[in-house]
Amino acid sequence: MLRNGLEPWHLLVVAVVVVLVFGSKKLPDTARALGRSMRILKSEARAMKDDGTAGGTVSEPQTTVTTAPADPPVTTH
């Protein structure tokens, strides 16, 4: 039924609709934000793969608890 579902004129129509909806002034900012988000997503996915937790489980961030040093013993004369 849909042999050639996405032809070049379809992309042109989508581009015109996007420009009409968002306006030409907001498009560069939107594209920049989308690119930044994709970069962050890619780096996070790479970090998860390197950590070995790419099985769909998200590990909790590790926190370190430090205790205050104990007061020295008080000696009286």
Express each pLDDT in 12-59 by its tens digit: 999 899 888 888 888 888 889 999 999 999 999 999 988 875 555 555
Sign, CA dihedral 37-39-44-45, equals positive
pTM metric for this prediction = 0.43
pLDDT at 25: 84
Taking the domains of the chain in order of start, what are their residue ranges?
24-52
AA letter at 10: H
pLDDT at 68: 61
AA letter at 53: T
pLDDT at 28: 87
φ and ψ of 12, to 5 deg:
-65, -45
pLDDT at 31: 87
- Distance between CA 61 and CA 51 in Å, rounded? 12
Task: Classify residue 49 as exposed, middle or buried by CB count within 10 Å of its CB (0-12, 13-18, 19+).
Answer: exposed
AA letter at 1: M
